[in-house]
Amino acid sequence: MSILAEILPAVTKIDVDEVNKKVPKLKQDVESLKNDIIINVENIYVKYNHRHTTNNILLEKAKQFQNTLTDLKDKADFLANKDLTKADKDLKSNVNELYKVEFKMRVLLNLLNIMEQINNFKKNVAASQYVKCIAILKEFNAFIEAMPEDEKFDAINQLVLSVTEEELMLKNTLKNIITDNIYVKQVPEKHVTILKIKKPNEEMKTAIMAYYSSQNQVLLLSKIAKYLWEDLFVPIVNQEIEITEKDTISFASLNLNVKSADKKSDYTVVFNNLEKVLGFLTKHFNYDVTDNLTVLGYIGNDIRDNLSELIIKNCLRDTIPSSTEELQNYKVVIEATKKLEKSLLDAQIFTTDTTSILEYANNVDVLFINKMCKGYLESAIEIMKHDLHDIMDVGVPYNPEYPLGNVELEFSQCAISKNVQELLKFCEEILQKALGASPECSGRLFTTVTNILSKYLTFVPEFHKTYLTTLPQQIAVFLNNCQYISYTLVKWNMEYCSQLRHVLDTCDFSKEIGQFSSVEHELFQIYIDGQVKQIEEIMEGAQLEGRTIQKLDSKTEKSIRQCLRQQELLRTVWHKVLPYEVYNKNIGIIVNALCRCLIRDIIKFEDIPAKVAEDLVEVIKLILTRAPKLFINPNEVALYVPLWYKLNELSFVLNSSLMQINDRWADGKGPLALQFEGDELKGLIKALFQNTDRRAAVLAKIVTFNVRN
């Protein structure tokens, strides 16, 4: 344009003639080029009888026409700016035609460029230059995407389809190359897995790089990673395996023979087998995927975290020492683990971000104590499973002279399960180890003891649930067990916790003591409540309902005898098991329930015939005679049965005259006044005696007092 600007003053008719003359010629040449290109396309892609060499000639010709077009367009633009096209109709027509030729020329150049790319693509496929093929495809796709839609006529679209087919064929070729180079074969009947890999070759190298370059991933390698994980790495760690290698001229194979699917190999065998697999893969299959990524690194992305976890949980965990002697010799395992981790890192299966198996092994002191403590808990649970009724006596016998005990920390004589004594001895051994251990280990050991104690409170009630809910001896023994453990924990607070507090932030069994107290009380109270409920249910059938009674039913005596028999059975199984005070207190609760039911049913009657009163006295006499024998010391029955005196006074009233009752009331100062409220006694008198002046006089003397029952 700068030259045109210089000759602007000299624009003549010659310039106009040149445009008018050359544009028709260029139009004709471009049309001829178009026909030649179409014929060439048909020869190559339809008839398949022509080579791509013609395309180079056509491309050179197109470039020449493009130069001519550019020159003419510059001149036409210059003339148009000077409004010369308005003065010359031919010039105006040729300038318009020139723009049409420009569009057609652009389309033809696109077509020729596409054909040139296809030609280059096929040459590189033939030369196995697969990475270059992928680069050409990417360039081609970018070229097509950038092309305006109005320039994509049918021939170009047909060529795009052709390229798409070529791309699919290339990917299939790459896939076949990879699958031909490595495969995993299983022979189930022989329990054998064979990994076969073609020895390193350039075709495989370029195929993998090309495959990755096309998608930024190699799905086939992900599948191979899955096969390696499931068929090699997992069996090597979890089963007893033998590995052998075989070589041929073209292939190397790794044979994995499962000797026992139910047994694991020793860690040394596992590590050795893993080293064999890593060495085999590194030697025969560690191609570059990119400049910064290898095949094994790619596979490692899929399996490294799982492999690290597998080695730790299913192999290294089994090597954790079970004794101090084994702990001292554990450095051998650490060295072997260090060597294996280096191999995994060198092979790029692991990276520095992968969970370190060496770090796990180096943490052996903590692992050792954790394993030991886990074993302690498991052993303790086995002890807890022993029968509760296998009992032994512990504690100091009851001394009437010192009913509250002679010394402060004195445990009352009772029967406990032998397994509790065994369990406490076991826990004490752990505490003794804690005294001589490091602060970290001491804390772990102390926590293990508290865990064992907490486990007892949840495991034993559930494991022995059937017996605890049906056999009275079992629940009594469980109560004693809990109390004896609490008693022992109080001593341990003084004996062991006092020595451990200088190394442990928290060292106290007060929480556990409270837990045992709560659980023992809750479970035993449930049982006592059940016994009381049974008494009440039995007495509901004693035929003492209603406000009046004409005759005492035989079921009344039968019900009371049944209640007493139930309590006598409890005495048989409890009196030598429970501590003196605990036994008396709880048998007293049950006897008191019987007294309460009978007193309640009798004093509600509004009319009691003399014969019924006599019969009731006899029934009450059953309780007054047999109930004291339920207690270890019969003379102490009144200490543990709050309604005992009231029952006695009720028997007196039923069997006495108005005068005797009046004397025993003694203006509210006698024994009757201590047990009955005035209204209760008045009700009884009205039920027992006819309405006479004498009865009225006695009733008038009786007033209500607060009675302590």
Question: pLDDT at position 4, please?
Answer: 40
Q: What percent of the chain has pLDDT over 90?
A: 46
Map out the domains of the chain as residue ranges.
2-127, 177-362, 367-525, 526-701
- Under 8 Å between Cβ of 204 and 177: yes
Question: pLDDT at position 202, please?
Answer: 84
Q: Residue 283: is its pLDDT beyond 80? A: yes
Question: pLDDT at position 86, please?
Answer: 46
CA-wise closest residue to 21 among 107, 88, 67: 88
Average pLDDT of the segment spanning 624-640: 94
Average pLDDT of the segment spanning 558-565: 95
- First-to-last C-alpha distance (Å) of the chain: 127
Q: Mean pLDDT, the chain, as a whole number?
A: 83
Model confidence band, residue 23 (pLDDT cutoffs 50, 70, 90): low
Least confident of 150-159, 535-544, 586-595: 150-159
The model's pTM is: 0.66
Question: pLDDT at position 85, please?
Answer: 47
Q: Residue 25: is its pLDDT beyond 70? A: no
**526-701 shares the fold of 367-525:** no
pLDDT tens digits along 201-238: 888 888 888 878 777 667 888 888 898 999 999 999 99
Q: Residue 552: is its pLDDT beyond 60? A: yes
Question: pLDDT at position 144, please?
Answer: 75
Least confident of 14-28, 414-428, 589-603: 14-28
Q: Residue 708: is its pLDDT beyond 80? A: no
Question: pLDDT at position 539, please?
Answer: 93
Both tokens of residue 271?
A: 């590590």
Question: pLDDT at position 2, please?
Answer: 43
The DSSP call for residue 193 is: E
Question: pLDDT at position 529, please?
Answer: 95
Q: Residue 72: is its pLDDT beyond 70? A: no
Model confidence band, residue 9 (pLDDT cutoffs 50, 70, 90): very low
Average pLDDT of the segment spanning 560-587: 94
pLDDT tens digits along 505-543: 678 888 999 999 999 999 999 999 999 999 999 999 988
Question: pLDDT at position 540, please?
Answer: 92
Question: pLDDT at position 454, please?
Answer: 95
Of 166-170, 197-201, 508-512, 564-568, give the range with the top mean pLDDT: 564-568
Question: pLDDT at position 74, please?
Answer: 59
Least confident of 179-188, 231-240, 403-412: 403-412
Tell me which residue has tokens 């003639």. 17
CATH of domain 526-701: 1.20.58
* H or E stretch at 415: strand 414-417
What is the distance between the alpha carbons of residues 133 and 111, in angstroms, rounded to a whole number?
A: 19
What is the distance between the alpha carbons of residues 690 and 698, in angstroms, rounded to a whole number?
A: 12
3-state SS, residue 381: helix
Model confidence band, residue 709 (pLDDT cutoffs 50, 70, 90): very low
CATH of domain 367-525: 1.10.357
pLDDT tens digits along 95-132: 666 666 666 667 667 777 777 777 787 888 777 787 88
The torsion of the CA quartet 35, 37, 43, 46, rounded to 10 degrees, works out to -90
Q: Residue 150: is its pLDDT beyond 70? A: no
Per the model's pLDDT, the better-predicted residue between 324 and 497 turns out to be: 497
- Quick one: three-class SS letters along 70-129? HHHHHHHHHHHHCCHHHCCHHHHHHHHHHHHHHHHHHHHHHHHHHHHHHHHHHHHHHCCC
Least confident of 63-67, 193-197, 329-333, 497-501: 63-67
Q: Residue 52: is its pLDDT beyond 70? A: no
CA-wise closest residue to 531 among 570, 499, 482, 581: 570
Question: pLDDT at position 567, please?
Answer: 95
Average pLDDT of the segment spanning 634-652: 95
Least confident of 216-220, 274-278, 640-644: 216-220
